[in-house]
Amino acid sequence: MAEDFTSLLIAVSVLLGPIILALPLRFWWTFRVGNQPEHVRYRSWVRQVLDAGEPLSTRRQELDHLARGLPIDITRQGRIEMDVLHPLKLPHFMLLPVLILSPLVGLIGAILFILLFPLILVAEWILIDRGLLAKIVDLVLKLMHWGIIGIHRLDTGVREEDAMVEHMHRLPTTAFLGLFCYLIVSYMPLPTWLGIAFTVLLFLLLTSVIVIVKAASHGELVFADTSQRRLQPMERLVDDILAPVVGLGLLFLLSRQLFLTQIGASNSVFADPIWFAGIVLIVLYSAAAVAIMVEISFFGLRSERVRMVFQNQMVEKYNPMLYAFTREHDRMELNPLRSLKDHLDADEQHVEGTEAFNFEDMLRTPSTLQEGEDATPPKTPELDSFTGD
């Protein structure tokens, strides 16, 4: 009995290892981003711009001027902006030890990635080139009685000196999905080799679809649920669905398996809790290695093409309007800017910073006057005050 309890404690310690290692990495990242007073001040300025609903490009010159005055170098400036837009939390740092363990799990991850990449290309052809994803979106809109609009992305104009932050922000979805698939299949009455094969197949199929959906929805498209007064960014829908299912599922499955091993009710090859905990870490870090390879290869090379094709399909079918969702104190406004088609054609990601502020932009700018309040004309200056006595 004492030996079983000791084995359980060792297994729990092994499973808690990634969390323990993540804590110093989290403190290191805070130091790397910047925790000095000037860094905190610049972070608050970036947060104020985002809270107002304005893209960073509209305040680019002002932010650069403020950064130079603090002073903050361009690299740290971009790092702070990326950290505000894509904050890294404890689950992200739990996956970083894969870089240290890469000789061990890198081979497994490389083999899985070689199998995964052709499936990603097949999923891209089916979902994007054949228009299946657009048809699924059309079905969702009809069933849920939603509309579709565009809302200006706030990360337009962000400094990308530390663009890997955005890639790291997407890692947990793929990594924890791999572990979730493994734990689900491990409860099936399958031979060991067949269970491993089914786990790999399920993980590769789900990952290939999720990768394409996340790449396609990474844009301005937003679901508008007017009956529930809710806006749902399309790119967040996958994470909002998967996060609670995978998160709670992992806690339940891990706890249940440890309990079964403790009472001796587990007849699988993972009846030993220490062996089970070690396999869990290998699966987790192997899936994380696959996620890193996907970020480097697919999101670095093909994601932009997937996004543009899918958005053009949405534009051709729905011709949605692009809105600016802004806030000034307690007053929020949803202002139409232009059609999303015009926005995509203009490629504002490169042009917006050089566009002149015209009369239409002035009309769209929120007024400081309250509703019903009349504007008072300027007072005529007293010229006598400028003349000598």
* pTM score: 0.80
For residue 71, whether the previous peptide bond is cis, meaning omega lies within 30 degrees of 0, is yes
Task: Enter the tokens of residue 304.
Answer: 């932009």
Model confidence at 15: pLDDT above 60: yes
More confidently predicted of 382 and 307: 307
Q: What local confidence, expressed as pLDDT, does residue 386 receive?
A: 47
Q: What local confidence, expressed as pLDDT, does residue 137 receive?
A: 92
User: Secondary structure of the chain: what % helix, strand, coil (to 5)?
Assistant: 70, 10, 25
Q: Which of 271, 285, 284, 276 is nearest to 12 (CA)?
A: 276
Reported as type and span, the H/E element at residue 52 is none
Alpha-carbon distance of 189 to 191, in angstroms, equals 7
Q: How confident is the model at residue 138 (pLDDT cuts 50, 70, 90)?
A: very high
Q: For the chain, how far is it from start to end, CA to CA, in angstroms? A: 103
> How confident is the model over 222-237, as pLDDT tens digits?
999 988 888 889 888 8
Percent of the chain's residues with pLDDT above 70: 83
Q: What local confidence, expressed as pLDDT, does residue 2 receive?
A: 62
180: how many CB neighbours lie within 10 A of its CB?
A: 22
Q: What local confidence, expressed as pLDDT, does residue 203 receive?
A: 92
Task: Enter the tokens of residue 231.
Answer: 């806006």
Task: Enter the tokens of residue 133.
Answer: 């994803």
| Highest mean pLDDT pick, 99-103, 201-205, 251-255, 333-337 | 201-205
Task: Enter the tokens of residue 309.
Answer: 């094709």
What number is the average pLDDT over the span 45-70?
87
Average the pLDDT over each of 16-20, 130-134, 266-270 and give the range with the smallest value.
266-270
* CA 359 to chain CA mean position, Å: 35
The residues facing 331 across adjacent strands are 328
What number is the average pLDDT over the span 340-348?
77
Q: Is 35 exposed, middle or buried (0-12, 13-18, 19+ CB in 10 A)?
A: exposed
DSSP state of 94: H
Q: Which of 310, 315, 317 is nearest to 338 (CA)?
A: 315
Torsion, CA 349, CA 172, CA 53, CA 344, rounded to 10: 30
Counting every residue written for the chain, the total comes to 389
Q: What local confidence, expressed as pLDDT, does residue 130 receive?
A: 93
122: how many CB neighbours lie within 10 A of its CB?
A: 12
Domain ranges within the chain, ordered by starting residue: 2-317
Q: Is 297 exposed, middle or buried (0-12, 13-18, 19+ CB in 10 A)?
A: middle
Q: Is 31 exposed, middle or buried (0-12, 13-18, 19+ CB in 10 A)?
A: exposed
> How confident is the model over 151-199, as pLDDT tens digits?
888 888 787 656 678 888 888 888 899 889 988 888 787 787 888 889 9
Q: What local confidence, expressed as pLDDT, does residue 376 receive?
A: 60
Is residue 82 within 8 Å of residue 165, measured between CB atoms?
Answer: yes
Average the pLDDT over each of 2-6, 164-168, 246-250, 372-376 and give the range with the smallest value.
372-376
- Strand residue runs (E) in the chain: 147-151, 221-225, 230-233, 321-328, 331-339
Alpha-carbon distance of 61 to 194, in angstroms, equals 59
- Please list, in sequence order, all residues whose beta carbon lies within 8 angstroms of the beta carbon of residue 364, skipping any fewer than 6 positions away: 324, 335, 337
Q: What local confidence, expressed as pLDDT, does residue 372 receive?
A: 53
Q: What local confidence, expressed as pLDDT, does residue 354 receive?
A: 45
Task: Enter the tokens of residue 218.
Answer: 């990474």
